[in-house]
Structure 1
């Protein structure tokens, strides 16, 4: 029996604060899995944490490469996906 495909999601800044985690393992419900739907998978695991807004303004990286268009990126398992929250400075 083949093992289920998994990804590691890394949380930074507001996403880490909201989830209380710096990283988390997810089993992909299907492969290929569109990166554009990962936010809904994360928020379903962490309801009522305000993640919809945080993830809606965040950028994504897959295996340390920034993603320009999440709609065109698919996950197959084994990837490390980082949630890059916007930051402000002064």
Structure 2
């Protein structure tokens, strides 16, 4: 008996949405979980032709279930979460 892999929903805004061509996507996570700090590498691997995506994700902030995350090294995604990529905003 096998069950479907747990998934997260990743919301893309601004430059991240432009780079991926998506407003959001559902991404499977391993049953043991995935560190939020590992998510950018996984997203880049899913969008190899996305222009400048790695830089965009490196400079972005993250929220999980509408809560801003200060240190992605200490957040493990287990499945069911909504993760938002919050790109830097420029303006004057």
Q: TM range, normalised to the smaller chain?
A: over 0.9
Query: 1:19, 1:11 → 2: CA distance?
Result: 8
Aligned equivalent of 2:60: 58
Q: What are the residue-to-residue correspondences of 1:7-86 with 2, within 5 Å?
A: 7-49=8-50, 50-86=52-88
Distance 1:88 1:25 in 2: 28
Aligned length: 90
Gaps of 5+ in 2: none
Partner of 2:3: 2
Shift of 1:3: 2.2
4+ aligned runs moved over 6 Å, structure 1: none
The 2-side partners of 1:44 and 1:29 are apart by 16
- TM-score, length basis structure 1: 0.95
- CA RMSD in angstroms comes to 0.9
